[in-house]
Amino acid sequence: MDRILGTIIDDYTLFKIIQGIIIILTLISIYLGIQITLTWKFLKKGELGSDELISNKGSFYRNTFFIFIAGFFMLLHEFLEGFGENQPDTTSYEFFELIALLGLVLFMYEWYRILRTSKRKQKESR
């Protein structure tokens, strides 16, 4: 990252900032995971068809894109870390990990919105 941001910020400070953002995103993913689990648990699945959950094409494409981002950047992170020669600094690895985690959090948020909307529809139909 020195080549890109070397004149603006040093690697150690950038590394600490990225680590802080990763911790925040991890806490958000834990919160979303709990919310998704609780919403799914209290959702009446007999009244809800799987077609209703996955029928929104835009949501399906966004979810596919978010999973692609998470998988691609985690694969890139692990692949580049395996080379012993010409390794980028650890800040670059953390940046790839940050982007992968961001894709995962966006995927979880999208599912949380879908389930929350389905639960709201069930409450209104009563």
The pTM assigned to this predicted structure is 0.78
Domain count, the chain: 1
What the block records as the tokens of 115 is 């389930």
Structural contact between residues 70 and 100, judged by C-beta atoms closer than 8 angstroms: yes
pLDDT in tens, 60-98: 788 888 899 998 988 887 787 766 556 657 787 888 889
* pLDDT band at residue 23 under the 50/70/90 scheme: very high
* pLDDT band at residue 31 under the 50/70/90 scheme: very high
pLDDT, residue 30, reads: 94
Phi/psi of residue 29, nearest 5 degrees:
-65, -35
Could you tell me the residue range of the domain that residue 85 belongs to? 2-125
Choose among 44, 65, 63, 67: nearest CA to 54.
Answer: 63
Which amino acid would we find at residue 81? E
Does pLDDT of 52 surpass 70?
no
Contacts of 125 (CB under 8 A, 6+ apart): 47
Distance CA(10)–CA(109), nearest Å, equals 33
